[in-house]
């Protein structure tokens, strides 16, 4: 019955008639496609959403193609019904097959991401009724309950909703309907989706911008292509890709824009609305249930023209997608690390190819992967070398903390304090950047040195004093919370715990002490409780209600603060520690992006980087503004080591609650490892997070030459081993996380 490798059939016009066998893919993590029989009076086609019987209940799945099983049609169970929904389009189905094959995830688990909104599939009940207050008939017996219902029914509402709002039982509503005091009307559909208007004029583009925009416009409607739109922060990349969006809209095609940290990108949404006169449809995890249902349906029915979303938006059922934009394409948050482990940017390129449409990758600091594709001639390259309107890039200066250390219990060197003082005096704004949430990353006992650790993870508990839940010690990996203990569990000393090292909250404390008259705000993912809070804070910043902004990486992304002229990076070396494959690249990208917040308008900007390693390649490149040299050296190292993008990696993470069982499976994997001159296997080794959420973890790393199919190596390898149920082997093709 089970065919794990069923491929969605896409021959156009294919139809299944009563009695035919077909394969239906169900959104279940363990399943390939199952065989069913087309019921009497049904006509089905690939992509149709269907309700089918499954182990004593019913489930919704998608017609995937003809069955390839052996079971006679009579023995298969019949499809219950076709749902009244547009079919899942062919490129979406092909994407699901592709992602499953590439990541080695079960196709059903990938389909689950495309069917993440069950309410959208079920839809409103057909011929739903609503009720509205009519003229009360003479002699109607009035009660307080009835009065409340009539008062609430000023707009059409379903009976259950009306009863809920009036605080009465449904029988009261029914009684009023029978008495003729409530009128039955059709239920209103979802709110209409506003149409972005491509006819609205954009800004007058500079020559360089106009050239890039024209190139992108030409590629819309001209089949598959990938364009890297590279330009320093503030060069107008957004304005340029807006032109491509206008072109796609004019051709009546849908557009998908992927952004990192979408929920926080209020400024992007404002700009879009200004340019096109209507908001895009948003798609991210912060959306409420109704917005998700309406959004999913609006996309599937083609009513949503522009969707801006997080990586999961890739799996929305676009029937007429004509353009994809991935902004900040280098951003690590496009990689999904849980469940189906995939890279949103890479899969977006696959989606574009399957749909024969163009994709634009925008970044000031493109990933080495994308740059290698440009060099190989696979991607087009468009370059905007200058900031718009003559704004200058900020000057970057390194502060050598070995020579100019901060004073005791301070995190700011004298040079940085002096610069903040001068900026305040000039009436301009400063950003102090520290990519570490909370008050302090470590809490230890002053008497015996005992460190407070998460009971479920290999991680210190982080001291938090602001934000959600206020004062607490928190594990950043599993969310474990604990109050600060008053007695050390190791030496029983009273009140002996001391905070070690700075987080943004502690930095804000130092700034408050040093600059008592300054208006200071902290911006970190846990101090921003909602998209609205983020929008408010950004608004206060642009309105000059804040003098000193202290922030983590959430401030680095996309914001445009015209009066921000000083950026101080408190610990520029932070991302270099740990030394994973991309540590240098990521640090360079993040710090370039942070630096890019300075001096974006008329006032020139200044960036100060506090570092203990001023001779490190990353610091030298940032100070010299020489991205090219940095990337060239970085690429050369990777090439010499056969590392991505010049070789391939896949990680195998073995985990389970029982350390010994995990070790046994890891050792067995190592014994069965493939032998081939083009393949290296490292490990098993305890993961850096050797305990995560109570699971013991071991890692193996597979490294191969580019021409090797990592997937077939892995499939062959894993086929030889049957781990016990308590042990899980997670596969991460193209890993970005090495903990
Ligand atoms: P990037 O995306 O490359 O960081 P943006 O598109 O955000 O750059 O542009 C930076 C700022 O300059 C924005 O405020 C934008 O509105 C403005 N800008 C860019 N190009 C133009 C233009 N041609 N005319 C007017 N304003 C522009
Ligand atoms: Zn934990």
Q: Verify that 400 and 457 share a domain, yes or no.
A: no
Strand order in the sheet with 472-474: 462-464, 472-474, 481-482
235 ligand 1 Cβ < 6 A: yes
Q: How far is the CA of 171 from the centre of ligand 1 (A)?
A: 59
For the chain, the average pLDDT equals: 91
**Cβ atoms 341, 732 nearer than 8 A:** yes
At 11 the pLDDT is: 61
Please report which residue ranges of 72-219 form alpha helices under DSSP H.
90-103, 107-114, 118-122, 144-152, 159-166, 170-179, 207-219
Q: Is residue 279 part of a domain?
A: yes
| CATH label of the domain that carries residue 111 | 3.40.1440.60
Q: How far is the CA of 652 from the centre of ligand 2 (A)?
A: 21
Q: Identify the domain boundary among 501, 516, 533.
A: 501
233 ligand 1 Cβ < 6 A: yes
Q: Verify that 219 and 162 share a domain, yes or no.
A: no
What is the share, in percent, of the chain residues with pLDDT greater than 90? Answer: 70
Q: Which atom of ligand 1 is nearest to the CA of 233?
A: 4
At 140 the pLDDT is: 84
Stretch 336-350: mean pLDDT: 96
Q: How far is the CA of 36 from the centre of ligand 1 (A)?
A: 55
Which helix H or strand E contains 77, and what residues bound it?
none
Least reliable range by pLDDT among 70-74, 281-285, 312-316, 323-327: 70-74
Q: Is residue 199 part of a domain?
A: no
Stretch 13-28: mean pLDDT: 91
Q: Which atom of ligand 1 is nearest to the CA of 327?
A: 2
* Residues 480-517: tens digit of each pLDDT: 999 888 999 999 999 999 999 999 999 999 999 999 99
Q: How far is the CA of 336 from the centre of ligand 2 (A)?
A: 20
* SS3 of residue 176 by DSSP: helix
Residue 595 phi/psi, 5-degree rounding, is -60, -35
Ligand nearest to the CA of 237: 1
593 ligand 1 Cβ < 6 A: no
606 ligand 1 Cβ < 6 A: no
Q: Identify the domain boundary among 577, 605, 634.
A: 634
237 ligand 1 Cβ < 6 A: yes
At 49 the pLDDT is: 96
Q: Whole domain around residue 274: which residue ranges?
A: 208-376
Q: How far is the CA of 384 from the centre of ligand 1 (A)?
A: 11
231 ligand 1 Cβ < 6 A: yes
Q: Verify that 425 and 531 share a domain, yes or no.
A: yes
Q: How confident is the model at residue 166 (pLDDT cuts 50, 70, 90)?
A: confident
What's the pTM value of the predicted model, to 2 decimals?
0.87
Q: Is residue 710 part of a domain?
A: yes
Q: Verify that 55 and 146 share a domain, yes or no.
A: no
At 158 the pLDDT is: 81
Rounded to 5 degrees, what angle do the CA atoms 156, 162, 166 make? 130
* Residues 234-254: tens digit of each pLDDT: 899 999 999 999 999 999 999
Least reliable range by pLDDT among 22-26, 182-186, 612-616: 182-186
Q: How far is the CA of 113 from the centre of ligand 2 (A)?
A: 27
Q: Verify that 560 and 415 share a domain, yes or no.
A: yes
Ligand nearest to the CA of 454: 2
Q: Verify that 214 and 346 share a domain, yes or no.
A: yes
- The residue to mutate among 236, 238, 594, 601, having the most atoms of ligand 1 within 8 angstroms of its beta carbon, is 236
Q: Verify that 525 and 595 share a domain, yes or no.
A: yes
Domain count, the chain: 6
* Residues 511-558: tens digit of each pLDDT: 999 999 999 999 988 877 777 788 888 899 999 999 999 999 888 876
| CATH label of the domain that carries residue 654 | 3.30.70.600
Q: Which atom of ligand 1 is nearest to the CA of 271?
A: 16
The DSSP 8-state label assigned to residue 575 in this structure reads G
Atom 4 (ligand 1): residue with closest C-alpha?
A: 234
Q: Is residue 444 part of a domain?
A: yes
Counts for the chain of helices (H) and strands (E), in that order:
20, 30
Atom 23 (ligand 1): residue with closest C-alpha?
A: 205
Q: How confident is the model at residue 4 (pLDDT cuts 50, 70, 90)?
A: very low
Q: Which atom of ligand 1 is nearest to the CA of 560?
A: 14
At 5 the pLDDT is: 46
| CATH label of the domain that carries residue 528 | 3.40.50.300
In angstroms, the CA 428 to CA 169 distance is 60
Residue 230 phi/psi, 5-degree rounding, is -105, 135
560 ligand 1 Cβ < 6 A: yes
- In Å, the largest CA–CA distance within the chain is 93
At 598 the pLDDT is: 85
Q: How far is the CA of 236 from the centre of ligand 1 (A)?
A: 4
Q: Verify that 524 and 611 share a domain, yes or no.
A: yes
- The residue to mutate among 210, 239, 246, having the most atoms of ligand 1 within 8 angstroms of its beta carbon, is 239
Q: Which atom of ligand 1 is nearest to the CA of 232?
A: 3
pLDDT winner (highest mean) among 380-394, 444-458, 573-587: 444-458
Q: What is the DSSP string of 478-529?
A: T--EEPPPSB-TTT--BT-EEEES--HHHHHHHHHHH-TTS-EEEE-TTT--
Residue 184: pLDDT over 50 = yes
206 ligand 1 Cβ < 6 A: yes
* Residues 417-443: tens digit of each pLDDT: 999 999 999 999 999 999 999 999 999
Please state the length of the chain.
739
Residue 190: pLDDT over 70 = no
Q: Is residue 577 part of a domain?
A: yes
370 ligand 1 Cβ < 6 A: no
Q: Verify that 495 and 510 share a domain, yes or no.
A: no
Residue 70 phi/psi, 5-degree rounding, is -105, -15
Pair of tokens at residue 378: 């696979």
Atom 19 (ligand 1): residue with closest C-alpha?
A: 236
Stretch 95-100: mean pLDDT: 97
Q: How far is the CA of 388 from the centre of ligand 1 (A)?
A: 6
Q: Is residue 203 part of a domain?
A: no
Ligand nearest to the CA of 267: 1
At 288 the pLDDT is: 81
* Residues 41-63: tens digit of each pLDDT: 899 999 999 999 998 899 999 99
- Give the residue from 77, 69, 6, 10 showing the smallest Cα distance to 45: 10
Say which residues have a Cβ less than 8 Å from residue 572's Cβ, sequence separation at least 6: 398, 587, 591, 609, 610, 611, 618, 619, 622
Q: Which atom of ligand 1 is nearest to the CA of 238?
A: 6
Query: Who wins on pLDDT, 379 or 142?
Result: 379
At 31 the pLDDT is: 65
* Residues 302-340: tens digit of each pLDDT: 999 999 999 999 999 999 999 999 999 999 999 999 999
Q: How confident is the model at residue 125 (pLDDT cuts 50, 70, 90)?
A: very low
238 ligand 1 Cβ < 6 A: yes
In angstroms, the CA 400 to CA 681 distance is 40
Q: Verify that 279 and 299 share a domain, yes or no.
A: yes
Ligand nearest to the CA of 241: 1
Q: Verify that 528 and 404 share a domain, yes or no.
A: yes
Q: How far is the CA of 422 from the centre of ligand 1 (A)?
A: 28
Cis peptide bond upstream of 645, omega within 30 = yes
Ligand nearest to the CA of 382: 1
At 469 the pLDDT is: 64
At 136 the pLDDT is: 78
Q: Is residue 674 part of a domain?
A: yes
- The residue to mutate among 388, 559, 561, having the most atoms of ligand 1 within 8 angstroms of its beta carbon, is 388
586 ligand 1 Cβ < 6 A: no
Residue 578: pLDDT over 60 = yes
Q: Verify that 107 and 135 share a domain, yes or no.
A: no
Ligand nearest to the CA of 474: 2
On the CB side of 425, CA atoms within 13 Å amount to: 6
Q: How far is the CA of 144 from the centre of ligand 2 (A)?
A: 53
Q: What is the DSSP string of 62-75?
A: EEEEE----S-GGG
* Residues 644-697: tens digit of each pLDDT: 999 999 999 999 999 999 999 999 999 999 999 999 999 899 998 999 999 999
The DSSP 8-state label assigned to residue 537 in this structure reads H
- The residue to mutate among 201, 212, 234, 382, having the most atoms of ligand 1 within 8 angstroms of its beta carbon, is 234
Ligand nearest to the CA of 201: 1
At 189 the pLDDT is: 65
In angstroms, the CA 364 to CA 344 distance is 18
Q: Which atom of ligand 1 is nearest to the CA of 209?
A: 23
Stretch 406-425: mean pLDDT: 94
209 ligand 1 Cβ < 6 A: yes
Q: Is residue 387 part of a domain?
A: no
559 ligand 1 Cβ < 6 A: no
Ligand nearest to the CA of 235: 1
């Amino acid at each position: 019955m089970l065919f794990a490798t069923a491929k969605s059939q896409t021959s156009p016009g294919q139809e299944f008639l009563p009695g035919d066998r077909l394969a239906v893919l169900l959104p279940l993590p363990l399943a390939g496609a199952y065989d069913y029989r087309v019921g009497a009076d049904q006509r089905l086609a690939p992509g149709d959403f269907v309700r089918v019987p499954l182990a004593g209940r019913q489930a919704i799945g998608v017609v995937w193609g003809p069955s390839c099983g052996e079971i006679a049609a009579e023995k298969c169970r019949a499809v219950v019904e076709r749902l009244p929904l547009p079919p899942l389009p062919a490129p979406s189905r092909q994407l699901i097959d592709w992602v499953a094959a590439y990541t080695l995830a079960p196709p059903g688990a990938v389909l689950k991401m495309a069917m993440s909104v069950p309410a959208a599939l079920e839809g409103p009940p057909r011929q739903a009724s609503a009720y509205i207050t009519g003229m009360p008939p003479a002699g109607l017996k009035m009660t307080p309950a009835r009065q409340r219902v009539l008062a609430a029914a000023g707009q059409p509402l379903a009976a259950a909703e009306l009863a809920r709002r009036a605080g009465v039982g449904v029988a009261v509503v029914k009684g009023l309907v029978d008495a003729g005091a409530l009128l039955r009307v059709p239920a209103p559909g979802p709110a209409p989706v506003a149409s972005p208007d491509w006819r609205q004029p954009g800004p007058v583009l500079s020559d360089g911008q106009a050239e890039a925009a024209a190139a992108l416009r030409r590629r819309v409607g001209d089949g598959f292509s990938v364009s890297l739109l590279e330009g320093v922060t503030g060069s107008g990349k957004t304005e340029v890709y807006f032109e491509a969006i206008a072109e796609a809209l004019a051709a009546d095609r849908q557009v998908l824009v992927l952004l990192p940290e979408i929920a926080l990108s209020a400024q992007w949404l404002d700009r879009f609305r200004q340019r096109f006169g209507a908001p895009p449809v948003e798609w991210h995890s912060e959306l409420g249930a109704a917005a998700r249902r309406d959004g999913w349906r609006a996309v599937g029915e083609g009513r949503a023209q522009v969707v801006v979303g997080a990586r999961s938006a890739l799996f929305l059922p676009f029937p007429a997608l004509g353009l994809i934009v991935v902004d900040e394409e280098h951003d690590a948050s496009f990689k999904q690390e849980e469940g189906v482990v995939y890279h949103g940017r890479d899969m977006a390129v696959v989606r574009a190819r399957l749909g024969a449409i163009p994709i634009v990758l925008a970044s000031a600091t493109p990933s080495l992967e994308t740059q290698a594709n440009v060099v190989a001639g696979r991607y087009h390259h468009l370059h905007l070398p200058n900031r718009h309107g003559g704004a200058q890039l900020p000057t970057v200066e390194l502060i050598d903390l070995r020579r100019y250390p901060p004073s005791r219990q301070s995190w700011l060197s004298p040079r940085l304090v002096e610069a903040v003082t001068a900026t305040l005096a000039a009436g301009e704004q400063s950003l102090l950047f520290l990519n570490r949430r909370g008050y302090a990353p470590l809490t230890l006992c002053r008497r015996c040195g005992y460190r407070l650790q998460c009971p479920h993870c290999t991680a210190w508990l982080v001291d938090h004093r602001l934000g959600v839940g206020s004062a607490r010690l928190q594990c950043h990996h599993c969310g474990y919370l604990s109050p600060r203990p008053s007695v050390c569990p190791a030496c029983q000393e009273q009140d002996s715990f001391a905070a070690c090292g700075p987080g943004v909250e502690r930095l804000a404390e130092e700034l408050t002490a040093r600059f008592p008259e300054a208006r200071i705000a902290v911006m970190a993912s846990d101090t921003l409780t909602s998209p609205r809070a983020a929008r408010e804070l950004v608004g206060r910043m642009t309105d000059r209600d804040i003098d000193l902004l202290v922030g983590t990486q959430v401030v680095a992304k996309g914001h445009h603060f015209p009066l921000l002229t000083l950026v101080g990076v408190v610990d520029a070396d932070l991302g270099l520690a740990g030394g994973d494959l991309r540590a240098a690249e990521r640090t360079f990208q993040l710090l370039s992006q942070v630096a890019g917040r300075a001096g974006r308008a008329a006032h020139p900007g200044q960036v100060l980087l506090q570092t203990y390693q001023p001779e490190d390649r990353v610091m030298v490149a940032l100070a010299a503004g020489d991205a090219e040299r940095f990337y060239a050296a970085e690429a050369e190292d990777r090439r010499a080591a056969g590392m991505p993008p010049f070789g391939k990696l896949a990680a195998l993470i073995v985990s389970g609650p029982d350390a010994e069982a995990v070790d046994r499976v890891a050792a067995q994997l190592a014994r069965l490892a493939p032998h081939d001159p083009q393949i290296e296997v490292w490990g098993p080794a305890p993961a850096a997070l050797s305990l995560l959420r109570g699971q013991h973890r071991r890692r193996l790393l597979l490294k191969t030459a580019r021409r090797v199919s990592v997937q077939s190596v892995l499939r062959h390898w894993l086929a030889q081993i049957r781990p016990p149920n308590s042990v899980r082997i997670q596969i991460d093709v193209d890993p970005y996380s090495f903990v």
